[in-house]
Amino acid sequence: MNYLSGTEDISLGKLRDTLIRLEDTIIFALIERAQFSYNEPVYKAGLYKYKGCEDFEGSFLEYFLQESEKLHAKVRRYQSPDEYPFTERHLLPDPIIPAIEYPQILKPNDININAKIMEFYVKHIIPSLCAMDDDQNYGSAATRDVTCLQALSQRIHYGKFVAEAKFRDPKDQPKYIEYIKARDSKAIEELLTNKKVEEDLLKRLKRKALIYGQDITEAGDFTLDANLKINVDLVVELYEKWVIPLTKEVEVAYLLERLDN
């Protein structure tokens, strides 16, 4: 989202447009990763020693992610209200350019569920997405992983804006306030859930994965889906089991803090 366009429009329709755009980003990022093998050494903690970072005990992916995020922090990526680092903030350097005054749309909060995103991605997505092999392309695999993880993180934490928009709806606000005061997470989740939007999303996602996973000839024909670049069911499962539930988890966590200070 461009927070500096001066509009500060957080209507649900606009936010959902962004979520739809991020579906494309995520599918294409997964297609990029799927061309390389699983490459187990990328995910094994403590396998390598890193020059200048000898104490680092995580995996090659975590090392690469941390080093990437250090650079991105310098250009103030994590000051943007829709960007969340996987690296603990105290390990990241300060920006080298002056801070931007973003419009205060969200209530200040420290919600960051990237540890959960990393876990499901490494445990469940990568082994199903890639050939269970080792093609030695560890750097290529890790760069694609970083792109996938950042896109998933942005999409899931976008739940904060969606929750804010829902809270501002005068029709539902009294109910939200009641449930927040009662610390009733389940009632909050039920109130913010829109089954029709979820069902439409999953149908659209399946179609997109099917189309984006094929080649298109010069004449505009689609190649047969025999050689799809991505497992369509996996993309749907990714959203059904993780992306949507975790977005809702962020929404609920944000709303529970919405009345504080």
Ligand X SMILES: O=C(O)C(=O)C[C@]1(C(=O)O)C=C[C@@H](O)C=C1
Within 8 A by CB and 6+ apart from 147, the residues are: 29, 32, 33
Nearest CB to ligand X, comparing residues 34 and 162: 162
- Of 33, 144, 166, 258, the active-site residue reads 166
Among 31, 30, 34, 63, which Cα is nearest to 46's? 63
Q: Which residue is nearest to ligand X (CB)?
A: 247
Nearest CB to ligand X, comparing residues 58 and 159: 159
Catalytic, 251? Answer yes
Q: Quick check: 75 and 96 in contact, CB under 8 A?
A: yes
CB-side neighbour CA atoms (13 Å) of 216: 5
Least Å from the CB of residue 106 to ligand X:
15
Least Å from the CB of residue 41 to ligand X:
33
Catalytic, 18? Answer no
Least Å from the CB of residue 88 to ligand X:
26
Is 162 an interacting residue with respect to ligand X (CB under 6 A)?
yes
Q: How far apart are the first and last CA of the chain?
A: 26
Least Å from the CB of residue 147 to ligand X:
20
Cα–Cα distance measured from residue 23 to residue 236, given in angstroms and rounded to the nearest whole number = 11
User: Applying CB under 6 A, which part among 105-113, 173-181, 209-217, 241-249 lies near ligand X?
Assistant: 241-249
CB-side neighbour CA atoms (13 Å) of 25: 16
Q: Which of 31, 118, 244, 253 binds ligand X (CB under 6 A)?
A: 244
Centroid of chain to Cα 231: 19
Catalytic, 76? Answer no
Counting residues that bind ligand X (by CB under 6 A) gives 13
Which residues are 53's β-sheet partners?
Answer: 50
Name which of residues 90 to 119 contact ligand X (CB under 6 A): none
DSSP secondary structure string, 67-110? HHHHHHHHTTGGGSTT---SS-GGGSPPPSSPPP-----SPP--
Name which of residues 190 to 209 contact ligand X (CB under 6 A): 192-194, 197-198, 201
In the complex, the residues that contact ligand X under the rule CB under 6 A are 16, 19, 162, 192-194, 197-198, 201, 244, 247-248, 251
